[in-house]
Amino acid sequence: MVEVHGPKIYTYLFGNTSFPITETMVNYWIVMVFILFLCLFLTSKMEKIPKAKQAIAEKIVTMIDGLVDQNMGKNCRHYSPFIATLMFSSVFGSLSSMFTLRSVTGDLNTTLGWALIVFGLIIYNKIKTNGFVGFLKGFTEPIWVMTPLNVLSEVATPISMSFRHFGNIAGGLVISTLMLSALSSLSSALGLPIPLFQLGIPGVTSLYFDLFAACIQAFIFSMLTMAYVGSARE
């Protein structure tokens, strides 16, 4: 019997069952502390002529700034810290499964939280550029009959963003678990003295499902954020 578990609940905040402290939250705090110390390490003792670690930090900042300039237009540099935060918490949150922590993004709560922040940003920027009346008027374009569809497509944005990221990572998790149990039952069915099939094959598939999917999904998530917020500012 193969079982795939959701994130474990460690304890309850104030003993109230409405506020569980889950594995995801604990792992996300670990990831956040890791990112904080990585930033402190990369940017300590900065010099005019950069050494290796400062060069890495500068490369990352230049890359994010370039992406923001390219996808959101000029005068949007103040969004690049937010985009970088999303991208790196997504990358390290997904890659935490490499260090035996359950993926932070393999939980819908995490990705839905991020997507709701992005949704708030989109609405805020639309109201800021068009005014509140213009924002409401935007729903009736091209004709008033389209209003329900426009509202629906607006609401669908955070749902599709969060489900895309969650589904990719959680799907990888389920496939890895199924594959590991299939390989172990194959080894025991052939009566091998050592579990030969589990030796290297899960590593190869994990290269795709963990490393590649994690990086691609982080890229997609921040790319879509930039595209939506950028188009809301026009």
Partner 1 sequence: MDPKAFVAGMSALGAGMAMIGGLGPGIGEGYVAGQACSAIARQPEAQADVTRTMILGIAMAESTGIYALVIALLLIFANPLVNQF
Binding site for partner 1 (CB under 8 A): 4, 6, 160, 163-164, 166-168, 170-171, 174, 216-217, 219-220, 223
Least separation in angstroms between residue 163's CB and partner 1 is 6
Q: Which is nearer to partner 1, 9 or 33 (CB)?
A: 9
Min separation Cβ 71 and partner 1, Å: 10
With residues binned 3-state (H G I as helix, E B as strand, rest as coil), the percentages for the chain, rounded to 5, are: 80, 5, 20
Looking at the Cβ atoms of 42 and 60, the one nearer to partner 1 is: 60
**Is 58 exposed, middle or buried (CB count within 10 Å of its CB: 0-12, 13-18, 19+)?**
middle
Nearer to partner 1, 138 or 171 (CB): 171
Cα–Cα dist 167/32, whole Å:
22
Question: Nearest approach, Cβ of 94 to partner 1 (angstroms)?
Answer: 14
Bridge-based pairing state of the strands 20-22 and 9-12: antiparallel
- List of residues 6+ apart from 130 with CB closer than 8 A: 137, 138
Q: What is the CA radius of gyration of the chain?
A: 22
**Closest CB 195 distance from partner 1, rounded Å:** 26
Between 33 and 156, whose beta carbon lies closer to partner 1? 156
Which is nearer to partner 1, 11 or 70 (by Cβ)?
A: 70
DSSP line for 111-138: HHHHHHHHHHHHHHHHHHHHHHHHHHHG
Least distance (Å) between residue 118 CB and partner 1: 15
According to DSSP, residue 207 is labeled I
